[in-house]
Amino acid sequence: MLQSRRRIRYALAGSAVATAVIASAQAQQPAAPAAAPVKLGIVSFLTGPAASPFGIPGRNGAEIVIEAFNSGKAPPPFDKVGLGGAKIEAKFVDEAGSAANVVTEYRNLVQRDQVDAVIGYVSSGSCLAVTPVAEELKALTVLYDCGTPRIFEEKARTYVFRVSPHATMDNVAAARYLLAKKKNLTSYSGLNQNYAWGQDSWRDFVGAMKALAPTVEADKVLFPKLFAGEYGAEVSTLLTSKSQALHTSFYDGDLEAFVYQEQTRGLDKRMTMIMTTGEAAIWRLRDKLPDGTIIGGRGANGPLAADTPINKWFQKIYTDRYNIPPTYPAYQMAQSLLGLKLAYEKAAKPGVKPTADEVAAAFKGIEFEGPAGHVKMALGDGHQGITETAYGIYRFNKQSREPEIVDIVRYPAECVNPPAGVDADKWIEEGMKGAKCN
Amino acid sequence: MSGRGQLVGGLMFLFATAAAPLLPDWIVSLATVALANALVVLGLVVLWRAGLVSFGQAIYYCIGAYAVALTARWTGFRDAFALVVIGGVAAGLVAALIGFLLARYREIFFAMLSLALSMILYGVLVKTESLGSTDGFSVATPTFLGFAPHRDTLGLSLYWLTLGVDAVCAVLISAYYRSVAGALAAPIRDNEIRVEFLGVSVASVVHAKVVISGVLGGLGGALAALTIGHVDPNMSYWTTSGSFVFVTILAGASSVAAAFVGSLAYEAVRSFAFDLMPQLWQMTLGSVLLLTILFLPNGLGSLVSRVKRREEAKS
Amino acid sequence: MLTSFAILTDGLVYAAYLFIVAIGLTLIFGVMKILNVAHGSFYAFGAYGAATAVGIYANADWPAALGFLFMLVLAMTIGLVMGIILERGLLRQVYGKDEVITVLVTYATFLILEDVIVLLWGPQSYAAYQPMVSAGNIEIGGLVLSNYDILLVAIAAALALLAYWSLKFTRYGWLLTTVIFDRETAAAFGVNVTLIYTVTFIIGAMLGALGGAVMAPKIAVTLGIGVEVIVLAFAVVAIGGMGSIEGALVGALIVGICRAAAVHLVPQLELFVIYGVMALVLVVRPYGLFVRAQPRKI
């Protein structure tokens, strides 16, 4: 009696596993294609705390832009169907997990699922881990959000591209804007998360401030744990500081928690806050974000973007589908896909699918207009893009009950990005020589 | 391992070695990572048999990985065999040192103290901006006794290296289980005081086990570093330790092979969950594992033991 | 002078946070010897439940105090329901087995519940700041403090007193103490250990959810908030001693003040504080601060 019950259990378990295996095998077999479709792997955070601010907007941006490509409804010169006439099939993969997991999933995309290109990665750690593998497998890869300049500074790359500018320009522009708007600045403090992103952001900001205004000093330098959520001690420390400005590269969850907590204690009345990635949070914080906060968006994204037709198009299709305006990760994904499409179509000969080498050769050094402005693949031997950036001041419009960014200053790409062939860190250390600002 | 067990193990090893070139690359690299992690799990099983669970085993994994990465980076020395040994030795030395402290603790306190130590290493690495902080840095491509394999065969070479190290460790650990120190694991778990009364120094036996698990963890980390090609402080984070503990309990303590089978199964299920349900993979993974626990409460290794017992009952 | 005062207040607030989060865990751990990884899920569900509650009452324009109470009640109800489902449905199956198996079950449960949150509330983050903002602030000794933080400290103190009183003066508390001390002997004396287990687990779940609810107005309620809380709670339990409420309180205070001191004076050490304190305490007192005299079993 006991034996048969156990056998039933085993049988059930076995059939469940078998069904699942068969189902997944089916899921991987592509449907009979009309013209052979192009497969793209899109990787971003779909779970965990980085999903809501970066991973999901990136994923949504990919989804809506790919749909527009496939229906041929994107504005010229992006109006060909799919990529060079072949429809795009997208596979969305979660970036979560250790570097080992990320690399394993990357290999799965390229070798098991045989995608034609991979676009993704929010975390700089993921980007650094995946890049050598991309080069090893000769797989076309476009990094869309990660900020570290190291990718193209450490080694020359052939198959890896990044249309979105790296994070150096965020903090250099922040320093310039702050000094332009607060002429009587004597001291500033910093609140950044204690990991590579926060450390790099602070280092770049301090370096830029030293180069532009050597007499202004850094007072409190705070590095709370990533995703700490509770910043009471940090707020108290800042309340005891004499600084007039606070630099933070905090984003979404941590940023929101900090804003709620500091506002209750009136910190923003004592010092102006500079949020280098604040643009991603304005639609959620709304009237809770203090007026007068200096906002950056990792480029001229969202409300910082110029009012061009292509920007209007992107905002419309995104907002119509997802009921919230696109934030900078969505813009970065859109720009990455636009760049890939241009390169692909430049390399394609009629009726023949271009190889990864051909697309890579076409991608090098291209320039185009995207929703976030003019992109030039100028650094990293044509693999790293630069765009202009913009900073502004946040205001919550009480009549329309909508967030706005006013007092926008645009910084040309060559003003806030290092020149070709110069490492970003060194460029800042040596006083940002060769910056072409107007 | 009985003679029969050794035969089966040897056959499985031969099969795994020969099958690799026929399998697609992505399966080979997935298996390599799983087999590297299996060494860490084996170390945890050694400790678990004595009743100790470490929530900080990732410290040795991380040390092994960073030892390899830093040696390649600072000295340019890239021989895979030597690097793996360096990884194991480095982790073993640290294990010997902190083992003096850890050997005095049991149960949750052993777990938490080991966790604390691994998180302290994590903190130190995060603060070290010259090593890239949380971004980590990449590991140079290894050579094999002077021979630099072509890109196509690099994956296979690493797989065979990992398999080889696994086999050596499996043989050594089963020999250890049959030795006096290994056999003392169960008595120590059941009743330490009696073992002390027998005249054995429990603290030294536990210390030895900590060192063994440390060396295994370091070897696993070294192989993982070579395979993934990237090291970062997250390798010392408590969630990494947690996933090793998870696989350990999944695999069970009954046989040496269980660690390898369990690790491969976990990696396969995880990858499968990512593929099938990209936004709900945690639930998929959790459900599969929950079902495994309910059906196989003594871990996957107990499947082997059950077969053995049924055979013995028949004869 | 201002800095010392700030360190004290910040330490108290952080200690209150740790204590509220850890008390449920130390109770479950002390009584049932189960390291409940799903405690992070109770916390997360409490926080999400609170965010939903705040959404409801903020739109309906209730007075702040009533809304706050509603938020707490809803969260604790969620904890109650979850505790019953988990204990009855899952843990009962694995009671006799190895303790480590039970940890595995709670870990698998935690993974599943993380995605249940996504299914119920979606991947976006929620805000529940209304209680904190409406509580306002107060200036003491040159430092502006949030009234909500002061309320948190009061809640933690009240919980500590309630726990102390229940353990010392109620029948359930005495039974609990005997089971913590020696389960087998208690069972031999006719104590219904299974019932105690169930009630304790449910109380632990409610306390975990309460922790999430009171913290929700301060933080952004987003995916993954349960994860960090687990290790913090474990650390406090390890420092304080298994099953010791006083231990959790003292452990929370030590970590809170040390961390506040680190942030103000030596910010580079902030990352190490909780683990450093744990390592130091365990080196000096291998069984945690408040260890019960254990009978030696030969």
Q: List, for residues A86-98, the tens digit of each pLDDT value.
A: 899 999 999 988 8
Residues 9-38, chain B, touching A (beta carbon < 8 A): 24-27, 29-30, 33
B209 confidence band (pLDDT: 50, 70, 90): very high
| pLDDT the model gives residue B315 | 61
Residues A57 and A95 in one domain: yes
The C-alpha atoms of residue B108 and residue C242 are separated, in whole angstroms, by 9
- When mean pLDDT is compared across A390-394, B150-154, C98-102, the lowest value belongs to C98-102
Nearest to A414 by CA among A438, A393, A380: A438
- Domain membership of residue A135 (yes or no) is yes
pTM value is 0.87
The C-alpha atoms of residue A288 and residue A354 are separated, in whole angstroms, by 50
Shortest CA gap A242–chain C (Å): 13
The C-alpha atoms of residue C252 and residue C297 are separated, in whole angstroms, by 31
Residues of chain B found within 8 Å of residue C109, distances taken between Cβ atoms: 286, 290
Nearest to C101 among B238, B242, B249 (CB): B249
Mean pLDDT for B280-302 is 78
DSSP state of A305: S
C294 confidence band (pLDDT: 50, 70, 90): low
Residue with tokens 């001041």: A393
Which pair of structure tokens corresponds to residue B18?
Answer: 């020969």
* A202-237 residue pLDDT tens: 999 999 999 999 999 999 999 998 888 889 889 999
Beta carbons of C278 and B108 less than 8 Å apart: no
- CB count, 10 Å around CB of C118? 18
CA distances (Å), C64 to each of A365, C68, C71, C76, C154, in order? 58, 6, 10, 18, 17
Residues A155 and A217 in one domain: no
pLDDT above 60 for A13: no
Please report the number of interchain residue pairs, chain A to chain B, with beta-carbon separation below 8 angstroms. 110
Nearest to A232 among C14, C133, C223 (CB): C14
Residue with tokens 């006439």: A85
All domains of chain B, ordered by start, with CATH?
3-18+25-314 (1.10.3470)
| pLDDT the model gives residue A25 | 44
Residues of chain C found within 8 Å of residue B294, distances taken between Cβ atoms: 93
Instruction: Identify the three-state secondary structure at position A139.
Output: coil
% pLDDT > 90, chain C: 24
Beta carbons of A52 and C217 less than 8 Å apart: no
What does DSSP say about strands A38-44 and A88-94: parallel, antiparallel, or unpaired?
parallel
Nearest to A221 among C125, C143, C267 (CB): C267
Shortest CA gap A112–chain B (Å): 6
Mean pLDDT for B70-74 is 92
Long-range contact set of residues C176-182: C-beta below 8 Å, sequence gap at least 24: C176/C31, C176/C200, C179/C31, C180/C30, C180/C31, C180/C243, C180/C292, C181/C292, C182/C295
* A349-391 residue pLDDT tens: 887 888 999 999 999 999 999 999 999 999 989 999 999 999 9
| pLDDT the model gives residue C88 | 86
- CATH number for the domain that contains residue A210: 3.40.50.2300
Mean pLDDT for C62-86 is 88
- Domain membership of residue A11 (yes or no) is no
| pLDDT the model gives residue B208 | 94
pLDDT above 50 for A12: no
Q: Which helix (H) or strand (E) holds A425?
A: helix A424-429
Mean pLDDT (chain B) is 87
Contact call for residues B83 and B68 (beta carbons, < 8 A): yes
| pLDDT the model gives residue C293 | 59
Instruction: Give C286 or A405, the one with higher predicted confidence.
Output: A405
Residues A289 and A397 in one domain: yes
Residues A190 and A293 in one domain: yes
| pLDDT the model gives residue B237 | 92
Nearest to C238 among B112, B117, B283 (CB): B112
The C-alpha atoms of residue A160 and residue A156 are separated, in whole angstroms, by 10
Q: Does A56 touch chain C (CB under 8 A)?
A: yes
Contact call for residues A384 and A166 (beta carbons, < 8 A): yes
Closest alpha carbon within chain A to B122: A195
Beta carbons of C298 and B191 less than 8 Å apart: yes
Residues A240 and A206 in one domain: yes
The C-alpha atoms of residue A344 and residue A362 are separated, in whole angstroms, by 7
- Domain membership of residue A61 (yes or no) is yes
- Domain membership of residue A229 (yes or no) is yes
pLDDT above 50 for B18: yes
Q: Which helix (H) or strand (E) holds A217?
A: strand A217-222
Residue with tokens 């130390």: C26
pLDDT above 90 for A159: yes
pLDDT above 70 for A438: yes
Instruction: Give C197 or A174, the one with higher predicted confidence.
Output: A174
- Domain membership of residue A23 (yes or no) is no
The C-alpha atoms of residue A178 and residue A189 are separated, in whole angstroms, by 13
pLDDT above 80 for A58: yes
pLDDT above 70 for A407: yes
DSSP state of A76: T
Beta carbons of A236 and C6 less than 8 Å apart: yes
| For helices C225-240 and B107-127, angle between their N-to-C axes, nearest 10 degrees | 120
B306 confidence band (pLDDT: 50, 70, 90): low
Closest alpha carbon within chain A to C219: A257
Contact call for residues A295 and A278 (beta carbons, < 8 A): yes
* Domains contained in chain A, number: 2
Q: Is A245 left (phi over 0), alpha (psi -120 to 50) or beta?
A: beta
Query: Subunits touching C (CB < 8 Å, at least 3 pairs)?
Result: A, B
Beta carbons of B26 and A111 less than 8 Å apart: yes
| pLDDT the model gives residue C279 | 86
Residues A68 and A172 in one domain: no
Mean pLDDT (chain C) is 86
| pLDDT the model gives residue A343 | 93
Mean pLDDT for B30-57 is 92
Q: Does A237 touch chain C (CB under 8 A)?
A: yes
Nearest to B119 among C110, C275, C287 (CB): C275
The C-alpha atoms of residue A419 and residue B216 are separated, in whole angstroms, by 47
| pLDDT the model gives residue A386 | 92
Closest alpha carbon within chain C to A225: C271
Q: In what order do the strands lie in the sheet with A117-120?
A: A88-94, A38-44, A117-120, A141-143, A160-161
Domain that holds residue A228: 168-297+388-429
User: Max alpha carbon distance in chain B (Å)?
Assistant: 64
pLDDT above 60 for A20: no
| pLDDT the model gives residue B304 | 60
DSSP state of A280: G
| pLDDT the model gives residue A18 | 44
Closest alpha carbon within chain C to B299: C101
The C-alpha atoms of residue A173 and residue A390 are separated, in whole angstroms, by 8
Beta carbons of C287 and B109 less than 8 Å apart: yes
Residues 127-156, chain B, touching A (beta carbon < 8 A): 127, 129, 132-138, 151, 154
Handedness of CA B295, B298, B304, B306 (dihedral sign): negative
Residues A281 and A405 in one domain: yes
A15 confidence band (pLDDT: 50, 70, 90): very low
Shortest CA gap A209–chain B (Å): 20
Interface predicted TM-score (ipTM) of this complex, two decimals: 0.85
- Domain membership of residue A288 (yes or no) is yes
Residues A92 and A144 in one domain: yes
The C-alpha atoms of residue C277 and residue C274 are separated, in whole angstroms, by 5
Contact call for residues C178 and C52 (beta carbons, < 8 A): no
- Domain membership of residue A435 (yes or no) is no
Mutate to test the interface with C, among B53, B282, B284, B292 (most CBs of C within 10 A): B282
% pLDDT > 70, chain A: 92
Within 13 Å of residue A382, how many CA atoms lie on the same side as its CB? Answer: 12
Instruction: Give A259 or A6, the one with higher predicted confidence.
Output: A259
User: Max alpha carbon distance in chain A (Å)?
Assistant: 87
Burial C137-166 (b: 16+ CB within 10 A, else e): beeeeebbbbebbbbbbebbeebbeebeeb
B33 confidence band (pLDDT: 50, 70, 90): very high
Residues of chain B found within 8 Å of residue C275, distances taken between Cβ atoms: 115-117, 119-120, 123
Nearest to B293 among C29, C105, C283 (CB): C105
Mean pLDDT for B61-75 is 94
pLDDT above 80 for A27: no
CA distances (Å), B19 to each of A399, B31, B226, in order? 70, 12, 21
Mean pLDDT (chain A) is 88
Nearest to C271 among B126, B238, B289 (CB): B126
- CB count, 10 Å around CB of C191? 17
B77 confidence band (pLDDT: 50, 70, 90): confident
Residues A250 and A373 in one domain: no
Residues of chain C found within 8 Å of residue B113, distances taken between Cβ atoms: 238, 278-279, 282
Query: Subunits touching B (CB < 8 Å, at least 3 pairs)?
Result: A, C
pLDDT above 90 for A34: no
Residues A151 and A173 in one domain: no
- Domain membership of residue A434 (yes or no) is no
pLDDT above 70 for C160: yes
% pLDDT > 70, chain B: 93
Residues A263 and A334 in one domain: no
C146 confidence band (pLDDT: 50, 70, 90): confident
| pLDDT the model gives residue B308 | 63
Residues A313 and A293 in one domain: no
Chain A residues contacting B, CB < 8 Å?
Answer: 9-10, 13, 16, 20, 23-24, 27-28, 46-47, 92-94, 98-101, 103-105, 107-108, 110-112, 124-125, 128-129, 132-133, 136, 148, 150, 154, 194-197, 199, 203
Mean pLDDT for B289-293 is 81
Mutate to test the interface with C, among A45, A46, A52, A288 (most CBs of C within 10 A): A52
pLDDT above 90 for C43: yes
